[in-house]
Chains A and B, each alone.
Chain A
Amino acid sequence: MIRFQNVTKRFGEFTAIHDLSLDIFEKEFFALLGPSGCGKTTMMRMLGGFETPTEGRIELAGQDIGPVPPNKRAVNMMFQSYALFPHLSIWDNIAFGLRRDKLPKDQIAARVEEMLKLTRLEKFARRKPHQISGGQRQRVALARSLAKAPKLLLLDEPLGALDKKLRQDTQFELMDIQETTGTTFVIVTHDQEEAMTVASRVAVMDEGRLMQVATPARIYETPDSVYVADFIGDVNIIQGTAKPIGDDRFHVSWNEGQPPLTATSAKPFSDGQTCHLAIRPEKVTITTDKPDTADNAVQGKVHDIAYLGNLSTYHVALPCGTMIKAQTANTRRLSRRQITWEDPVWLSWTATAGVLLAE
């Protein structure tokens, strides 16, 4: 439905977007994820019509929307600051866009009531924006941008101003509303947990380029670069050289005097090629005795333990100085902690646990 074709955007000397092509499909919940300054907000502002691409074209439903001004686009935006009109009541804020379309009065009223119901704001219709709480303001902003039934809704860091608990609740509300209305949502966020929760597909961006576009699960389990692996969640990166041993299996020599690690990879690596083995901490098993049947096992000393309630993360220092993180779920309430600081431990993982990356 939306197609970026070789879009480049420059602000003076600074290039915000580098020759970027991307398709976003109908009824999708799409997330643009990246650190601040990576160009994700610029992408969104180009969709909204507040910036025009320097090169390339953006199509919405097959039509080039480059020359279309924001007030003529079937696109609405929910702003990071919510941008509620302080001099209008909640009701009038939601009705604002409908009034611009010169709809008949009773139709506007019906639509506003529908939006108030959808966002559970009926009680607050007569209040002014400064008379309601942050979470309610967020819902007003959502109701206002959805009132005109846009083909595409843009959300710029919509939950950034909310506290953690409220943010989690609101994430699920957003997903429900997206499903009920069937609108295509594009969300911009720097919070990877938020992107993973709400989106059906995630685009990871860095310095104006797309690093990877895939479902949250694929982004997490099979990142295709060290950058993506490192940006999403926690990861151990071990650098080494690859040696094919057949059946998509490789030996990674990573430290002299240590036996090579075994990993599988669908992508080919040549003999002696530099590679990075990325393993998520929860896929590393920590034991006090040497495991008998692990593909990979290394010995180290517990350096630090972080107790998070549901999980515990162990930082284990290997003799060569490398630090490896291992995570275990605390499934029992009363268990004597077997492993403590300075204990010698074994870390082990299977050949399929990690991802082998070139860069």
Chain B
Amino acid sequence: MRLSWFNVVSLTLGFAFLYIPMIILVIFSFNESKLVTVWAGFSTKWYAELMQNEAFLNAAWVTVKVAVFSSTLATVLGTMAAYVLIRGGRFMGRTLFSGMIYAPLVMPEVITGLSLLLLFIGIGLDRGVLTVVLAHTTFSMCYVSVVVSSRLATFDRSLEEAALDLGCTAIEAFRLVTLPIIAPAVISGWLLAFTLSLDDLVIASFTTGPSATTLPIKIFSAVRLGVSPEINALSTLMIAIVTIGVITASLVSKRNLARQRKDEQLAVRAS
């Protein structure tokens, strides 16, 4: 099918809007000059310099640590919450609970951050990596819970009943049947929590202390002193990592789908 001129224009406009800022950032990360807005030839020296910058590397390490711990904790808690809400039957206050679990989705981050800060000060917890992990768990848990509960809602209940019928306790049934089947949803919940934690600036800056500076905070404070090509290089690396992740995930799921389709055709023919 040939695209009409109207379609070509709208496609170009849309993608230009989405990607021109990022393309400019990537281009200038290879700029020879220290001036961000003046092109002076191709160079990768800013990447080399970035690798020497202790402060940035430290911040990157803190960010990854926080993201791994908080997304893991959020996945465990979020999956448990989703399981109870979907499977717990109609207990008292179920509607209230399910509403409350999704509320942080629409809560302004500033308010979440501020209330967490007040809580940590109130209980006398020193601000650092631990508090950022706890804060990120709090706000990313509801995302996990949304992803997992939508999978659980379409989950055939009789699979769990069959497991019980065949001699499982409730916990065994969850471990041996439910969890392996909802695993894709749990994993994508984890990935979502991980990305949310990686790029969070607001909540982290409320709850962090001098000992734990995450990458977004570092970039933000560095930019206030002027945009350096080093930051462009760092951002380009982050874009590359996210892009590779997304492409791999979609390729894997596409291949699984193709394989399943082939299997089903095989089954039809064999019968």
Q: Which residues of A contact B (CB under 8 A)?
A: 48-50, 69-71, 75-77, 79-81, 83, 85-87, 96-97, 100-101, 128, 130-136, 144-145, 148
CA distance A50 to B163 in the complex (A): 12
Question: Chain B: interface secondary structure?
Answer: helix
A-B contact pairs, 16 of them (CB 8 A): A48-B165, A70-B165, A71-B164, A76-B165, A77-B162, A81-B156, A81-B158, A85-B162, A85-B163, A96-B166, A97-B166, A97-B167, A100-B172, A130-B264, A135-B271, A145-B166
Given known A-B contacts A83-B159, A136-B271, A77 and B167 have beta carbons under 8 A apart? no
Measured between C-beta atoms, what is the minimum distance from A186 to chain B in Å?
A: 14
**Of B156, B159, B166, B168, which is in contact with the most chain A CB atoms at under 10 Å from its CB?**
B166
Complex: chain B residue closest to A95, CB-CB: B166
Q: Which residues of B contact A (CB under 8 A)?
A: 156, 158-159, 161-169, 172, 176-177, 180-181, 260, 263-264, 266-268, 270-271
- Of the candidates A86, A87, A96, A133, which one forms a contact with B267 in the assembled complex, judged by CB atoms under 8 Å apart? A133
CA distance A341 to B237 in the complex (A): 85
- Of the candidates A49, A70, A87, A132, which one forms a contact with B181 in the assembled complex, judged by CB atoms under 8 Å apart? A87
Question: With a CB–CB cut-off of 8 A, which chain A residues contact B177?
Answer: 85
Given known A-B contacts A133-B267, A133-B271, A79 and B158 have beta carbons under 8 A apart? yes
CB of B267 within 8 A of CB of A130, answer yes
- Of the candidates B163, B167, B264, which one forms a contact with A148 in the assembled complex, judged by CB atoms under 8 Å apart? B167
Question: With a CB–CB cut-off of 8 A, which chain A residues contact B159?
Answer: 83, 85
16 further interface pairs, Cβ-Cβ under 8 Å (given A76-B165, A83-B156, A83-B159)? A70-B164, A71-B169, A75-B165, A77-B165, A79-B162, A85-B159, A86-B181, A87-B180, A96-B166, A128-B263, A130-B263, A130-B267, A133-B270, A134-B271, A144-B162, A148-B167
Complex: chain B residue closest to A73, CB-CB: B165
CA distance A71 to B263 in the complex (A): 33
Given known A-B contacts A79-B162, A81-B156, A101 and B167 have beta carbons under 8 A apart? yes
CB of B161 within 8 A of CB of A100, answer no
Question: With a CB–CB cut-off of 8 A, which chain B residues contact A101?
Answer: 167
Complex: chain A residue closest to B266, CB-CB: A131
- Of the candidates A50, A70, A131, which one forms a contact with B264 in the assembled complex, judged by CB atoms under 8 Å apart? A131
Given known A-B contacts A76-B165, A77-B165, A131 and B158 have beta carbons under 8 A apart? no
Measured between C-beta atoms, what is the minimum distance from B97 to chain A in Å?
A: 21
CB of A83 within 8 A of CB of B161, answer yes
CB of A71 within 8 A of CB of B270, answer no
CA distance A133 to B169 in the complex (A): 30
CB of A100 within 8 A of CB of B166, answer yes
CA distance A328 to B150 in the complex (A): 57
CA distance A79 to B157 in the complex (A): 11
Question: With a CB–CB cut-off of 8 A, which chain A residues contact B166?
Answer: 71, 76, 96-97, 100, 144-145, 148
CA distance A43 to B20 in the complex (A): 65
CA distance A80 to B271 in the complex (A): 20
CA distance A77 to B172 in the complex (A): 18
Question: With a CB–CB cut-off of 8 A, which chain B residues contact A144?
Answer: 162, 166
CA distance A144 to B165 in the complex (A): 11
CB of B161 within 8 A of CB of A70, answer yes
Question: With a CB–CB cut-off of 8 A, which chain A residues contact B163?
Answer: 85, 96
CB of A131 within 8 A of CB of B267, answer yes
Measured between C-beta atoms, what is the minimum distance from B30 to chain A in Å?
A: 46
Question: With a CB–CB cut-off of 8 A, which chain A residues contact B176?
Answer: 96
CA distance A71 to B172 in the complex (A): 11
Question: With a CB–CB cut-off of 8 A, which chain B residues contact A136?
Answer: 267, 271
Question: With a CB–CB cut-off of 8 A, which chain A residues contact B164?
Answer: 49-50, 69-71
Question: With a CB–CB cut-off of 8 A, which chain B residues contact A50?
Answer: 161, 164
CA distance A100 to B166 in the complex (A): 7
- Of the candidates A83, A96, A97, which one forms a contact with B158 in the assembled complex, judged by CB atoms under 8 Å apart? A83
- Of the candidates B156, B168, B267, which one forms a contact with A71 in the assembled complex, judged by CB atoms under 8 Å apart? B168
Question: With a CB–CB cut-off of 8 A, which chain B residues contact A128?
Answer: 263
Measured between C-beta atoms, what is the minimum distance from B154 to chain A in Å?
A: 13
Complex: chain B residue closest to A147, CB-CB: B166
